[in-house]
Amino acid sequence: MNDKPERDNQTPKQRGRVIVKKLREHFGSRLISGAEVGVLRAMLAEHLLLNLRTIRKYYMVDRWAPVKPDSSYIRSLDKVPTFFRTQEQADAVLRVAIDRTNRCAGKRIILKGGSVAMAKVVPDHSLHFVYIDAEHTYPAVCTDLKVWWPKIMPGGLLCGHDYDNPIGYQGLWGVKQAVDEFVAALDLQLELRGRIEWFVAKPRKTESTNVRTLP
Ligand SMILES: C[S@@+](CC[C@H](N)C(=O)[O-])C[C@H]1O[C@@H](n2cnc3c(N)ncnc32)[C@H](O)[C@@H]1O
């Protein structure tokens, strides 16, 4: 048997539909607030803001800055950081993200900075969902999970991209390992849609039987 999943050939639109469907199933017609960690040109942000009218607040979190050539992000062979090698190029990507979401400017909050620093700006238990799609190395994903989990309210959803993407095999991405360990440590349920999109519901207070802490 071949463990290697099929390549993810979904277009951004198809991917957006998967996430909108899941958010609709989970939250119904409730008004919701969310955050996307790793936004790039706001392809997903645009899709969610335009197609999920129940979103009333959407944090767009990204450094929009070049990373050092010897960083783990570059070594992970992710092609995304090669899109902006200079601050001018990163600024241009940010402008695209702004233009793309201008129609929903009243709902978006742009947080330009590192994931850890920006998480501190968002109150704990204030978000219905967080979508993680920044650096895909194991330590980076562990950090993102740790700092964004407290932002989600009980009954909310933590989700993200590239759970088991073959594109990352060569560069040793660690999304799957980080998410699996996180889910096991907190005794949570992982749901996959298409092996790339992952979702974890945060138990409502009454559902939680064990008190567990992250390692
Ligand atoms: C895969 S792209 C995001 C794609 C976007 N979610 C979409 O679906 O259109 C990853 C983005 O994460 C950002 N990023 C990576 N590490 C980060 C960190 N630690 N803090 C903030 N942003 C980060 C990068 O600047 C890049 O724009």
42 CA from centroid of ligand 1 (Å): 10
DSSP state letter for 54 = T
Say what the pLDDT of residue 1 is: 36
CB of 76 closer than 6 angstroms to any ligand 1 atom: no
Q: What is the pLDDT of residues 21-71, one digit of tens each?
A: 999 999 999 999 999 999 999 999 999 999 999 999 999 999 999 999 999
The Cα 146–Cα 92 span in angstroms is 30
For the domain covering 12-207, report its CATH number. 3.40.50.150
Chain centre to alpha carbon of residue 167:
17
What residue segments make up the domains of the chain, in order of their start? 12-207
Atom of ligand 1 at shortest range from CA of 78: 1
Instruction: Write out the two tokens for 20.
Output: 């909108």
Q: Is 128 in the pocket of ligand 1 (CB under 6 A)?
A: no
Distances (CA, A) of 8 to 13, 168, 194: 13, 11, 8
Give the Cα-Cα-Cα angle 105, 19, 209 (nearest 5 degrees): 110
Q: With a 6 A CB cut-off, is 162 part of the ligand 1 pocket?
A: no
pLDDT value at 207 more than 60 = no
pLDDT in tens, 89-129: 999 999 999 999 999 999 999 999 999 999 999 999 999 99
Is 50 exceeded by the pLDDT of residue 5?
no
pLDDT over 70 percentage in the chain: 91
